[in-house]
Amino acid sequence: MNAWRKTLTAAGRPQTRAEELLVETAPARRILHVDMDAFFASVEQKDDPTLRGRPLIVAGSEKARGVVAAASYEARAHGIRSAMPTSRALRLCPQVLRVPPRHERYHSISSEIADVLRSFTDRIEPLSLDESYLDLTECCLSRRTSLQTVAREVKQAVREKTGLTASAGGGPNKLVAKIASDLCKPDGLLVVAPARVRDFLHPLAIERLWGVGPVTARRLQAMGIRTIGDLATRDPRHVEGQLGRLGIELHGLALGIDERDVVTFHETRSISAETTFATDQGTREPVAAMIASLASEVAERLDHHGFAARTITLKIRYPDFTTVSRSCSFESRLLNASELTARALELLGRTEFPQRAIRLVGVGAAGLVDAERPVQLTLPFDSYCDAPRISPSPSASATPPREPSPSASATTPHEPSPSATTPHEPSPSASATTPHEPSPSPSATTPHEPSPRLAQTAQT
Ligand code: DCP
Ligand code: MG
């Protein structure tokens, strides 16, 4: 990041109109947010032409209290959304087609998308399997072409390679790019010029702002703030008085100031599987059987990729949706299928089960290494990342707290996120979450409801 720009915004936002003008006239970055449309559902429709043009959900079975991972746009017309229980989706649209998720297939397409994006720039920050930020500043400047033009090329290249549509939003920062791509879905392209940022942001509902979930939105609404523009025109000291540091950060964002860099390294991925029981389980036998089945699924996927794991995590959700995870790591040993199961069952002993019944259970493997050559690595689908990163602390870490939005509080039908631990013998870590207001701290960042971080925490 430009040094003077960072200094200017070190207090979270420009302090004077003169500083504001300087920020406005700074050489603008060209940030693009690319997000595949109805990703899992579109992959299914691409692979099976009989599913095309029909309401479709990729979801677990309603009998097993499954939830919707992805809904085709035809299904969304009936009000079906991600994270909704499958049973509710079926009530909304009895003729909806349901297919179970095929994660390997989505990972493989994600890898193809990554290859396409990398042909435009190395400055890529993947957020999930189907979503990335690209910093196209150098690409645009060296080619003397506009962000709009490059964005159009990116969309076309993704379509040619995968047969799928992506939506792309562009602007001088991540905040604008992400909101723009959300607004132009599906198959859209919306680029916001720096001079138009405030015109673009200000009419939007305050919930669109990064870090504003239902709880914060209610607090802002109680202050008479309904749009981003309402917040931008408030005295920041007043907002700070009401919301503390979060208020200051949100006020800066409302002014269109977001200095976060596109971060090109990424955490080492994990392989995991989880399931929600049809009814809450209070006895050991069915829970242990499910853990064994999930562990062998994880082991199979590790095998398929040629990976071995040094860390295992057990994730448990109690009936009140409180979620905990327990992990242990091994420096000198790799975990095979039976060890994964055995360790996961040991970890079960460190939960409140059976005093508390269990709604959901998940098994995750992290600390992935090449099974043949045990060196820490990343999965193929994020092979464009600069370097893997492991949390340096094995101590208890909070799973990202999220607003109790539907996507956060309902079961996500795949991939628990085990807390990373440094490899040593064996090192337990625990994390617990209850659905509550997100903290503005950096550790609260998630792709779904990220916490705002301004210049003072931006990485250069
Ligand atoms: N996903 C999931 N569980 C959720 C949300 C998403 O398993 N609660 C999976 C399925 C989605 C994929 O992640 O297809 C990408 O998530 P998005 O939020 O990008 O949603 P979609 O790509 O499905 O739709 P959109 O067109 O709104 O981006
Ligand atoms: Mg998507």
Query: Which residues place a Cβ less than 5 A from the ion ligand 2?
Result: 35-36, 39, 130
Determine the Cα–Cα distance for residues 364 and 326; give it in Å rounded to an integer: 10
- Residue 162 has φ and ψ, to the nearest 5°, of -115, -15
Q: In this structure, are 28 and 55 located in the same domain?
A: no
Q: Looking at the domain assignment, is residue 350 inside a domain? A: yes
Q: In this structure, are 236 and 284 located in the same domain?
A: no
Residue reference for tokens 């990163």: 389
Ligand 1 atom nearest to 448, measured from its CA: 18
- C-alpha 341 to ligand 2 mean position (Å): 33
Give pLDDT tens digits for 190-233.
Answer: 999 999 999 999 999 999 999 898 889 999 999 999 999 999 99
Of 131, 240, 274, 403, which one is the catalytic site residue? 131
To the nearest 10°, report the CA torsion of 341, 344, 348, 349: 90
Give the CATH number for residue 408. Answer: 3.30.1490.100
Determine the Cα–Cα distance for residues 95 and 110; give it in Å rounded to an integer: 29
- C-alpha 95 to ligand 1 mean position (Å): 21
Q: Looking at the domain assignment, is residue 175 inside a domain? A: yes
Check whether the bond before 14 is cis (ω within 30° of 0).
Answer: no
Q: In this structure, are 153 and 226 located in the same domain?
A: yes
Residue nearest to atom 20 of ligand 1 (CA): 38
Question: What are the DSSP E strand ranges found in 371-428?
Answer: 388-389
Residues 6+ positions from 424 with CB-CB distance below 8 Å: 329, 330, 331, 394
Cβ of residue 131 lying under 6 Å from some atom of ligand 1: yes
For a mutational test of ligand 1's pocket, the pick from 88, 130, 381, i.e. the residue with the most ligand atoms closer than 8 A to its C-beta, is 130
Q: In this structure, are 121 and 150 located in the same domain?
A: yes
Are the CB atoms for 418 and 311 separated by under 8 Å? yes
Residues 6+ positions from 397 with CB-CB distance below 8 Å: 391, 419, 429, 431, 443
- C-alpha 69 to ligand 1 mean position (Å): 6
Among 254, 289, 308, give the residue marking a domain's end: 254
- pLDDT class of 27 with cuts at 50, 70, 90: low
For a mutational test of ligand 1's pocket, the pick from 34, 40, 110, 381, i.e. the residue with the most ligand atoms closer than 8 A to its C-beta, is 40
3-state helix, strand, coil in the chain (%, to 5): 40, 20, 40
Question: What are the DSSP E strand ranges found in 75-165?
Answer: 97-99, 124-128, 131-135
Number of structural domains found in the chain: 3
For the question of residue 331 being annotated catalytic, the response is no
Cβ of residue 435 lying under 6 Å from some atom of ligand 1: no
Both tokens of 106, joined, read: 């989505």
- C-alpha 73 to ligand 1 mean position (Å): 12
Determine the Cα–Cα distance for residues 376 and 361; give it in Å rounded to an integer: 27
Determine the Cα–Cα distance for residues 15 and 376; give it in Å rounded to an integer: 45
Give the CATH number for residue 49. Answer: 3.40.1170.60
Among 86, 102, 118, give the residue marking a domain's end: 102
Strand bridging mode 131-135 / 31-36: antiparallel
Task: Quote the pLDDT of residue 25.
Answer: 52
Strand partners, 32: 134, 170
Instruction: Tell me the mean pLDDT in the region 125-141.
Output: 92
Cβ of residue 127 lying under 6 Å from some atom of ligand 1: no
Q: In this structure, are 141 and 158 located in the same domain?
A: yes
- C-alpha 67 to ligand 1 mean position (Å): 12
Kindly tell me if the per-residue pLDDT of 176 is higher than 80. Answer: yes
Kindly tell me if the per-residue pLDDT of 117 is higher than 60. Answer: yes
Among 254, 280, 307, give the residue marking a domain's end: 254
Task: Quote the pLDDT of residue 389.
Answer: 25
Give pLDDT tens digits for 319-348.
Answer: 988 888 888 887 666 677 788 899 999 999
Lowest mean pLDDT among 92-101, 265-274, 323-332: 265-274
Both tokens of 108, joined, read: 């493989």
Q: What is the DSSP code string of 38-78?
A: THHHHHHHHH-GGGTTS-EEEE--GGGT-BEEEE-HHHHTT
Determine the Cα–Cα distance for residues 42 and 202; give it in Å rounded to an integer: 33
- C-alpha 35 to ligand 2 mean position (Å): 5
Task: Quote the pLDDT of residue 272.
Answer: 87
To the nearest 10°, report the CA torsion of 49, 55, 61, 66: 120
Cβ of residue 185 lying under 6 Å from some atom of ligand 1: yes
Residues 6+ positions from 164 with CB-CB distance below 8 Å: 36, 37, 39, 42, 43, 46, 109, 158
Residue reference for tokens 């092979």: 383
Q: In this structure, are 139 and 180 located in the same domain?
A: yes
Q: Looking at the domain assignment, is residue 340 inside a domain? A: yes
Q: In this structure, are 10 and 68 located in the same domain?
A: no
Q: Looking at the domain assignment, is residue 208 inside a domain? A: yes
Q: In this structure, are 421 and 300 located in the same domain?
A: yes
Task: Quote the pLDDT of residue 255.
Answer: 96
Residue nearest to atom 2 of ligand 1 (CA): 69
Q: In this structure, are 7 and 151 located in the same domain?
A: yes
Instruction: Tell me the mean pLDDT in the region 156-181.
Output: 98
Q: Looking at the domain assignment, is residue 115 inside a domain? A: yes
Determine the Cα–Cα distance for residues 208 and 306; give it in Å rounded to an integer: 41
Both tokens of 434, joined, read: 């209850």
Q: Looking at the domain assignment, is residue 386 inside a domain? A: yes
Cβ of residue 446 lying under 6 Å from some atom of ligand 1: no
Long-range contacts, stretch 92-97, CB < 8 angstroms, 24+ apart: 93/55, 95/55, 96/55, 96/56, 96/57, 97/51, 97/54, 97/55, 97/56, 97/57
Q: In this structure, are 25 and 172 located in the same domain?
A: yes
Give the CATH number for residue 191. Answer: 3.30.70.270
Q: By residue range, what is the domain housing residue 49?
A: 39-102
The DSSP 8-state label assigned to residue 278 in this structure reads: E
Determine the Cα–Cα distance for residues 306 and 371; give it in Å rounded to an integer: 6
Cβ of residue 106 lying under 6 Å from some atom of ligand 1: no
Task: Quote the pLDDT of residue 265.
Answer: 54
Question: How many percent of the chain have pLDDT more than 90?
Answer: 54
Task: Quote the pLDDT of residue 359.
Answer: 92
Q: Looking at the domain assignment, is residue 7 inside a domain? A: yes
Lowest mean pLDDT among 138-152, 176-190, 271-285, 361-375: 361-375
Task: Quote the pLDDT of residue 356.
Answer: 95
Task: Quote the pLDDT of residue 3.
Answer: 37
- pLDDT class of 127 with cuts at 50, 70, 90: confident
Q: In this structure, are 313 and 181 located in the same domain?
A: no
pTM above 0.75, yes or no: no
Taking the CA of 406 as reference, the closest ligand is 1
Q: Looking at the domain assignment, is residue 460 inside a domain? A: no
Determine the Cα–Cα distance for residues 32 and 177; give it in Å rounded to an integer: 6
Three-state DSSP class for residue 303: helix
Q: In this structure, are 51 and 22 located in the same domain?
A: no
Kindly tell me if the per-residue pLDDT of 155 is higher than 50. Answer: yes
Q: Between helices 337-348 and 284-305, what is the axis angle to 10°?
A: 140
Burial, 187: exposed, middle or buried (Cβ in 10 Å; 0-12, 13-18, 19+)?
middle
